[in-house]
Chain A
Amino acid sequence: MSGLRILVPVKRVIDYAVKPRVNRAQTAVETTSVKHSMNPFDELSIEEAVRLRERKTVPVEEIIAFSAGPPKAADILRTAMAMGADRGIHVQVDEQTPLEPLGVAKLLKKVVEASNSNLVILGKQSIDDDAGQTGQMLAGLLDWAQATQASKVEIGDGGEVTVVKEVDGGVETVRAKLPMVITTDLRLNEPRYASLPNIMKAKKKPLEKKTLKDFDLEAAPRLKTVKVTEPPPRKGGVKVEDVDGMIGKLKELGAL
């Protein structure tokens, strides 16, 4: 078979270690002057694409990193390129009106068709909206095979893809022929750190800037945010001295 042409969509999200705060107007989570990073699951996607190239079972013709987001999403694409992606595509979307998963999937379908990709590797969910939909939606729109929550991916030289998936209660293995959409689970790999020379090299890699208009798409959202609130806080509990105290307290609370 010919080689792999891998598309890796990445998203810029609030860093996973930051505790998000709801804004005063209760319209969204505060994002100004908050540390942002690449969605952790997307780091796994890039890493897996680069490892497929390093494994050399099937030649990898190109790895495209893609992001739809505000101007700063370009930083995330540079990170992806420093990790090993060959080029980046950035579709600028206003921060106030982010795309919904269905919108991203429709956009990705056009990007897949334009770049003639035969494998799309996405994170299983983004840690901001926790929707977990984009990869599956894309596979549906393309009518491609899909494997979600992958913990292991093997591609034979005939283009046969075997994926071990995390499911409730264990793992499941499925097999399909390319083209395919795969979403990553945490156990898939350990993403590398971009080295300084690679970060420097990534600055020279091509980064294409596009808009939704270039793809003839509109971003009308289907879901309207009514409000965003803080979750109800838990009441502060008590500390007990010893195991007997713990058992006693649990009984008192009716948990035993």
Chain B
Amino acid sequence: MFSTARHSVLRHARTQLRTTHPTLALSHSQSSLTRLLSTLAILEQKDGQLSQSSLSAVSAGLKLSDSVTGFIAGSDAKSVAESSSKISGLSKIIYVSNAAYDKGLPENWAPLLQQNIEKGGYTHILAPHSAFAKSTIPRLAALLDTQQISDITAIESEDTFVRPIYAGNAILTCQSSDTTKCITVRGTAFPPPETSGGNASLEEGVDPNASCPTTWVSEDLQKSDRPDLGSAEKVVSGGRGLKSKEEFDRLMPPLADALGAAIGASRAAVDSGFADNSLQVGQTGKNVAPQLYLCAGISGAIQHLAGMKDSKVIAAINKDPEAPIFQVADVGLVGDLFEKVPELTEKLKAQ
């Protein structure tokens, strides 16, 4: 009830401001109003380490209000909460210590979040658009009876958000009428906050200890010393043009190492078995926006472009001068990648 009242007060105040002072700078009006909002950022951790993408949920939260509450659960939640308390902008961290939440199963996570959200009266729930959140937040939204807003790239106001649709071929601005807004954020659109300077207080959350019908059996994660694909500054990516897994493994890793880049792949390369599915860049894979996206043997289908066209600089090597990738590439080289990629790798190494 409290949150509903607060919400309508805020909306009313905003509407008044908009109608009476239409030229008033939004940022100015926002600073006095945003204190009425309360945002909760869901922080993901694995083995005591906070995920990098979680920080984007905090950054997005800070665009809505001056301070954000974080939420952590798992067997080691208290110590992760302690080590996360320095993150700039976090005023409070709610933690629930229970090993039942270690595997990120949505069946017990959704009721856990629901109870803590209802208790705290949060107006905005933010999570990174990660595999965990993609699986959990919609389930939570259904329990809260709210229409989730997925993968936002910008925040226009407390109820208006921007997100790509149709594989990034259109940009939707939508306004939510729900009291509690469940939102997942695109990590590349919200640079992480400082991880020092903050001083969040810790508070133990409620633990409904909901039964979970699903058992976690195992996982098989790609081990790599390379930077994480989703947050890497540079990405090299290979497509169908590499012809085989052997060629992919022969040409791409040395190029990635020469640049200190993460490795990505097109769906064609993944479907043909050249690369692991977790490397897929595109509408159905990862979205990346690195400083440099260098791709070889990728034609540039719309589904692939959806995942990489926000990169700062795009470079492409392809033997087909008509390939659509050249329409978005800042630097294009028409040529045989089997010659050009090794040459590029050698020349980069020599520098």
Measuring CB to CB, which residues of chain A are less than 8 angstroms from any residue of chain B?
Answer: 14, 16-17, 19-20, 22, 29, 100-102, 105, 124-125, 127-141, 144-149, 151, 162, 165-177, 185-187, 221-231, 234-247, 249-250, 253-256
Most buried by A among B148, B221, B270, B313: B148
A129–B344 alpha-carbon span in the complex (Å): 39
Chain A residue contacts of B134, Cβ below 8 A: 132, 136, 148-149
Are B139's CB and A140's CB within 8 A? yes
- Of all chain B residues, the one with the shortest Cβ separation from A136 is B138
Are A130's CB and B283's CB within 8 A? yes
Are B136's CB and A136's CB within 8 A? yes
Interface of B is mostly: mixed
Measuring CB to CB, which residues of chain B are less than 8 angstroms from any residue of chain A?
Answer: 105-107, 110, 130-132, 134-143, 145-151, 160, 163-178, 213-222, 230, 234, 259, 267, 270-271, 276-278, 283-284, 286, 291-292, 302-303, 309, 312-315, 317, 321, 326-335, 340, 343-344, 347-348, 351
A16–B166 alpha-carbon span in the complex (Å): 9
A138–B138 alpha-carbon span in the complex (Å): 9
Most buried by A among B171, B331, B343: B331
Number of A-B contacts (CB under 8 A): 260
- Of all chain A residues, the one with the shortest Cβ separation from B305 is A234
User: Among the listed A102, A124, A246, which residue makes an inter-chain contact with B142, where contact means beta carbons less than 8 Å apart?
Assistant: A102
A17–B250 alpha-carbon span in the complex (Å): 31
- Given A16-B303, A247-B347, verify A231-B327 contact (CB < 8 Å): no
CB distance from B5 to the nearest CB of A (A): 20
- Given A136-B106, A168-B130, A223-B174, verify A246-B213 contact (CB < 8 Å): no
A140–B137 alpha-carbon span in the complex (Å): 10
Other A-B contacts than A170-B278, A224-B177, 5 sampled, CB-CB below 8 A, are A140-B143, A146-B107, A224-B176, A240-B333, A247-B347
Are A187's CB and B214's CB within 8 A? no
Are B173's CB and A227's CB within 8 A? yes
Are A222's CB and B333's CB within 8 A? no
Chain B residue contacts of A147, Cβ below 8 A: 214
User: Among the listed A16, A19, A168, A235, which residue makes an inter-chain contact with B278, where contact means beta carbons less than 8 Å apart?
Assistant: A168
12 of the cross-chain contacts (CB-CB < 8 Å) are A102-B145, A102-B147, A127-B283, A139-B139, A171-B219, A175-B214, A186-B277, A226-B175, A228-B171, A240-B331, A242-B333, A247-B348
A145–B105 alpha-carbon span in the complex (Å): 10
Are B291's CB and A19's CB within 8 A? no
Most buried by A among B147, B174, B333: B147
Are B169's CB and A222's CB within 8 A? no
